[in-house]
Structure 1
Amino acid sequence: MEYYAHTREDGERQTVKAHLISVSKLAEDFSVDLLKPLAKKASLYHDIGKYAINFQKRLDDDKVKFSHAACGAIEYKTLADKNDCFAPLMEYCIAGHHTGLMDGGTDADNSDSPTLNGILKRADEYTGDSDYSAYATEIEFATLTQEEITPPLNELLSTKDPTERIERYAFFTKYVFSCLTDADFLDTERFCNKNVERGMSGDFEKALDKLNRELSDMPSDNPLRQARSRIQQQAFDNSVNKSHISILDMPTGSGKTLCSLKLALESGKKRIIYVIPYTSIIEQTANKFEKMFGDVLPVLQHHSNYSYDGNTEEEKKTADKLKRTCENWDAPLIITTSVQFFQSMYHYKGSALRKLHNLRDSVIVFDEIHLIPTELLRPCLKAVGYITKYLNSEALFLSATMPDYSK
């Protein structure tokens, strides 16, 4: 028989096999090389539970209940080699691809517990119409090989600090989860709604030309303005020695934002993300960028004050596209809040973590960095460290009153 994953409004159906293969390819493309095998295989098996007769019945009758997400995690735990240290990572990502990353739980959890341990105890319940073993007729289930495990394992073992190992493992888990959940959502959306529009594009080269003209047109007809020009030139000259995380410590009114934007546009990265603590500053910065760049480089604003409403049909269509683009930050220039940014790393829900993989190959500019709350400073800086270390990204800290973060 044919096994289906989704039914479109016009009655057309997508097979489970086609969905799994498409999602695994997307997730693999999203991922950095270090974690590609994990993203690919977690995605290839995330929906094998849809091979159960009960799920097939559910496509026609939503009263039939069946939790398909647990099946791939159960199968992975059953088949994984005892030396596969990434088996828990795979189980977390597969089991949580709809509900979000769950608590691990304890051995005392029963099969009704909303924990990973509880879900994995449901294996004995999948018999009869809930048996999903038919996946083996279409998908060859293969756990991670030692060759695929070794590179990320070596990265974990490159530190002797046990807490650091745990935190790296947690980051890898959330990153693979991000690749899987976004790929799953996008493939489902493309099948169910062929005409949907999402994503934005822009031309960094043309935007840089406009910015350079803006900087060159700045007057330098008095000592204060001449001093500003010298400070800006120092920032540009020193950028040749920049590291993954750079500091732009410039006084108020000296043009930090425009300097950081020039450095970001010249970086060769594919995305620029401005992280700003206050919505008032966000709106001011966005208006400035929109006025300067026009259609050459559109600005995606993602914060609570931004309205996606529209009056005409065309405005409503544009608003819907912007909303969808905010879901995974598929845009070249994004302005957002500190809360939105750090939730992309530390939330447990897929709706927040979907954005994480799109922080790859980015320049992330943190304006007013000194306003990060002291009690949250360590996890925030750790997040920036992992994103720049593993995702080929750069961070730029901006402040007129820069704290000493060296320790």
Structure 2
Amino acid sequence: MYYAHSTDSANKSEWQLLLNHLNEVAQLTAKFASRFGMEKWGYIAGYLHDLGKYSDEFQSRLEGSSRRVDHSTAGAREIIKAAGSNQRLAVILSYIIAGHHSGLPDYGTISGADSCLARRLVKDLDDYSAAFREVKIPELPAQFSLQPGISSSFQMSILTRMLFSCLVDADTLNTERFLNPDQADKRGVAANFLALLKRFQDFMAKRFSKPSSQIDYLRTEIFNECMGIASQPRGLFSLTLPTGSGKTLISLGFALGHAVQHKELERIIYAIPHTNIIEQNAAIFRDVLGEEVVLEHHSNVHHDTDESEELLEEEKEVRRLRDTRRLSEENWDMPVIVTTNVQFFESLFSHKRSQTRKLHNLTNSVIVLDEAQMMNGAFFKPCMYALEELVRNYGCTVIMCTATQPPASETLNHPRMKQQIDVKEIVTHPELRFRQFERVKVFSRGIVSLDSLAEELNGLRQALCIVNTRKTARELFESLQCLHSKSANTLEGLYHLSARMCPVHRMDILNVVRQRLESGQPCFLISTQLIEAGVDVDFPEVYRELAGLDSIAQAAGRCNRNGKLSHGKVHVLELERGLPAGWMSLTGNIARTILKDSLEEGLDPLSVSAVERYFAELSYFQHIGNKDSTDGKEIIAKIERNGRQLAFPFAEIGREFRMIDEQMEPIIIPYKTEEEMLVEDNNTAFSILLKRLRHAPQLSRELVRKLQPYTVQLYEQEYEAFKQAGELTEISPGIRMLERPDLWYSHQTGVKPYSA
């Protein structure tokens, strides 16, 4: 008898039979892969994935032997041997089977690294010939149906990732089903989009039944127009609307209406550029649709298992499942997912099983990209290629929502394409909508010093100032504090906002700011650009340090947002220290020219035509010479280099595809609200949560979600400095809390720099 998994019992009749595991995983992998027409391929991957467990050495492992056993390479080798003339296509399955524990490998060469596929296919393995008493190697399907796209090599790499995801999820779920059936029964929530659309319509009817202003009337009109387009066929859409027009609810309504019209659609995935507004949007969606159908998933608190070794030991995998280190977020089996662009796109290009496990559940999804212009950087081209392929061959609809649409069509309509790719605009007349929502006048202020900026702000009653870095935000805030301390005036209504403050703290600040703005009290907010995306504040004047035109437009969306004034004032200025090098310098320099030209000609520098010119000029600079900076890490080139042979560098790409250059690490802040600080009782919201965490048998999805509002992301170097100094306490495996918040956390500016 051969077994796949053992239990704590010495009675082997309670162990999972290997043949049962292979059959069950094969059937589940086939089921997942059937959604994109690859069920036969999925079945073979599942049926052969653990072939190496038929070795005596692996069976001894289950009985307690400490000798490591490679059980993943055997099935990869056998499918290559059985493929005959179809060996090239069999490589797809060999990647999947060989990597189902350690992650998708690079193809490499026979003389290359031990972990590469080419070398593993010829390495010595323990004898697994006993398998052939129970297992017959299936025949490889001769073909499959992919609609031709921009790059056949890119398409094959995505197909491999999708099949890999099917196998990893099926293998994990089957193992969990055997080891922990109670937990397995709790997984997944079926989508009933008709019922969710009804909830949404009831919410909108209650909220907008009586428009109280011209802005509300226009928002309702736009919403009704967009809902009328939701019945269109699945595809790539753009939703181009000015800030303040209600894009979040409009895009959610469109997605729900679209899902009802197209019965095959299974989930809605809402990707957002910043973690700071995930809480806000997820809260809105839960309020509208119900707590039970919305999953909020980002990397503030995340267990990323160590997959750096070539092969993970099976017992470690079993142990992780028992300890629920694999959180249910990993396979996105909920109707509505709210996540970050980073989480979404890095998963699409990762080689790790923990990140890729969810990919097959992107099939037949509505994918909404909020603030889509923020993709437009060093990974824009591979991101757009991936989105187009999800639409072309995996039944998805993609909606790119922004006030400043990036050049998606230009990127996708490659000279090699026989048929042009259509990105359909949902709004009939975007230019009209932008004119209707013109609420500000833009002023170019030139170069100013930090001190003179502080003095100007100090003379106003209400103003928002957005700067490019956390350091500048802190220094400007301190400069304003210093001005107040030197004058007879008492400091009133001055606030700071940056990512060095935990989300619950930022939310407290924003609530106070909104109250002060509404009641006409003095209010000054110094912020980094995190306030620009989706944060609902309404200032009469906004100061914006020079940045890309898309960022300036977002900043303008915080000015006179509800149209209470004839116009608000947006001041664009440069600080004497200049722009940070790189992307910010490039985009800022282009924006400076367009602002100057538009204002000299008496035109709106934030109009649709000005934004189009901005992106056209940005594209020119991104493609100077032979360098395409929309693919800064040459992801497409690396995929296509040996793509005809299906020799892909999966692990290399996984390491290279990092949308945030510097590694960030989360810390938990034991934050107290102002009210909690005034009360001697130690039962704060955080202390109650901490007690639950320390006594919980497992780190549940609910606990992870409740921790997220208390996190701050630090750059790795600073995180390590805090850690080495003993200022962080491990409160759960891999999760660390700031030990002395009274010393290291300011209720004005958040985590103090460690250098302080």
One fold, TM greater than 0.5? yes
Shift of 1:306: 5.9
Counterpart in 1 of 2:227? 236
Shift of 1:321: 8.2
Counterpart in 1 of 2:293? 298
What does the per-residue CA deviation read over 1:315-355, in whole Å, with 9 as the maximum and x for residues that have no partner?
A: xxxxx989732011111111001111112210001111110
Shift of 1:210: 2.1
Counterpart in 2 of 1:150? 143
Change (3 A) 1:39 1:381: same
Counterpart in 1 of 2:367? 364
2:204 to 215, 220, 235: 215
Counterpart in 1 of 2:128? 132
2:393 to 387, 390, 400: 390
1:194 to 181, 186, 197: 181
Shift of 1:202: 5.1
Counterpart in 2 of 1:172? 159
Shift of 1:243: 4.4
Deviates further, 17-26 or 59-68: 59-68
Counterpart in 2 of 1:63? 66
Counterpart in 1 of 2:20? 18
* Counterpart contact for 1:8–1:192, Cα < 8 Å: yes
* Counterpart contact for 2:36–2:393, Cα < 8 Å: no
* Counterpart contact for 1:325–1:331, Cα < 8 Å: no
Larger Rg over CA atoms:
2
Shift of 1:117: 1.3
Change (3 A) 1:166 1:307: closer
What does the per-residue CA deviation read over 1:147-176, in whole Å, with 9 as the maximum and x for residues that have no partner?
A: x33224xx37x46x7xx1111111111111
Tell me the SS of whatever aligns to 1:300: strand
1:104-115, aligned counterparts within 5 Å?
104-109=107-112, 113-115=114-116
Shift of 1:96: 0.6
- Higher relative CO (Cα under 8 Å, sequence separation at least 6) belongs to 1
Q: Percent identity?
A: 36
Separation of aligned partners in 2, 1:184 and 1:22:
9
Separation of aligned partners in 2, 1:45 and 1:141:
8
Change (3 A) 1:275 1:33: closer
- Give the residue type in structure 1 aligned to 2:280: Q
* Counterpart contact for 1:77–1:91, Cα < 8 Å: yes
Tell me the SS of whatever aligns to 2:16: strand
What does the per-residue CA deviation read over 1:117-150, in whole Å, with 9 as the maximum and x for residues that have no partner?
A: 111111xx33xxx211111111111230xxx332
Deviates further, 84-93 or 50-59: 84-93
- Give the residue type in structure 2 aligned to 1:346: F
1:91 aligns with 2:82: no
Counterpart in 1 of 2:57? 54
- Give the residue type in structure 1 aligned to 2:360: H
- Give the residue type in structure 1 aligned to 2:163: V
Separation of aligned partners in 2, 1:404 and 1:191:
49
Which one has the bigger helix percentage? Answer: 1
Counterpart in 1 of 2:6? 7
- Give the residue type in structure 1 aligned to 2:144: P
Change (3 A) 1:322 1:395: farther
Counterpart in 2 of 1:344? 347
Separation of aligned partners in 2, 1:212 and 1:321:
37
Separation of aligned partners in 1, 2:327 and 2:171:
15
* Counterpart contact for 2:376–2:406, Cα < 8 Å: no
* Counterpart contact for 1:384–1:395, Cα < 8 Å: yes
Counterpart in 2 of 1:312? none
Shift of 1:33: 4.5
* Counterpart contact for 1:38–1:90, Cα < 8 Å: yes
1:219-368, aligned counterparts within 5 Å?
219-241=210-232, 243-266=234-257, 267-268=259-260, 269-295=265-291, 297-305=292-300, 324-368=327-371
Change (3 A) 1:273 1:403: same
Which one has the bigger strand percentage? Answer: 2
Change (3 A) 1:27 1:304: same
What does the per-residue CA deviation read over 1:196-246, in whole Å, with 9 as the maximum and x for residues that have no partner?
A: 133334543332222112222313233222222222222122334454111
* Counterpart contact for 1:204–1:265, Cα < 8 Å: yes
- Give the residue type in structure 2 aligned to 1:248: L
Shift of 1:365: 0.6
Separation of aligned partners in 2, 1:405 and 1:27:
33
Separation of aligned partners in 2, 1:402 and 1:185:
39
- Give the residue type in structure 2 aligned to 1:211: F
1:45 to 40, 48, 51: 48
Separation of aligned partners in 1, 2:301 and 2:290:
18
- Give the residue type in structure 2 aligned to 1:299: V
What does the per-residue CA deviation read over 1:358-386, in whole Å, with 9 as the maximum and x for residues that have no partner?
A: 11111111100011142211111111111
What does the per-residue CA deviation read over 1:32-70, in whole Å, with 9 as the maximum and x for residues that have no partner?
A: 342211111011001111111111111112312211111
Q: Give the total of aligned pairs.
A: 378
- Give the residue type in structure 2 aligned to 1:103: D
RMSD after superposition? 2.1
Tell me the SS of whatever aligns to 2:200: helix
Change (3 A) 1:137 1:307: closer
Separation of aligned partners in 2, 1:167 and 1:355:
19
Change (3 A) 1:344 1:194: same
Separation of aligned partners in 2, 1:325 and 1:231:
37
- Give the residue type in structure 2 aligned to 1:213: D
Change (3 A) 1:263 1:240: same
Separation of aligned partners in 1, 2:211 and 2:352:
50
- Give the residue type in structure 2 aligned to 1:275: A
Shift of 1:108: 2.2
Separation of aligned partners in 2, 1:306 and 1:70:
33
Change (3 A) 1:131 1:322: closer
Counterpart in 1 of 2:378? 375
Structure 2 residue runs without a partner (length 5+): 304-322, 411-756
Tell me the SS of whatever aligns to 1:364: strand
Separation of aligned partners in 2, 1:404 and 1:307:
33
Deviates further, 188-197 or 170-179: 188-197
